[in-house]
Amino acid sequence: MQDRDTTDTNWFSDDAATFGDRLAAAREAAGLSQSDLAQRLGIRKKTLIQWETDRTEPRANRLQMLAGMLGVSIRWLLTGEGEGIELDEDGQPLRRDAAGVIAEIRELRTALGTIATRLGQLEKRLRETTDKDLA
């Protein structure tokens, strides 16, 4: 019996996962609930559940919409090959939580505003000091 090295396993390949598995993983990585994704696609939640449980598959036009909304390639959804979701060092999908990104952007804007204000104060102080030295 031959030992297989599982460190290089493609957990989302055809051998290890189904279309439904990849769809659910991509949806979760995108930070979407089943209800959210179904609403965005204009389908019933029941239909999405059937796709994720491999009872049915979407038509080509919905498949293209899914890939675009989830940031993965159609090929990856179907076969596990190509551009799919990113995995962390433990092989778990990285969440691309839009709310988290937006919160970080807001924090950075606030910090940038504070830094710009402080920079302006220091420049003014430097000018005043330089003007006094020249007088």
The pLDDT mean for the chain works out to 81
* 80-112 confidence digits (pLDDT tens): 888 777 666 666 565 555 556 666 777 788 888
Among residues 42, 80, 35, which one has the least CA distance to residue 61?
42
- pTM of model > 0.85: no
Angular region, 56: left φ>0, alpha ψ -120 to 50, beta rest = beta
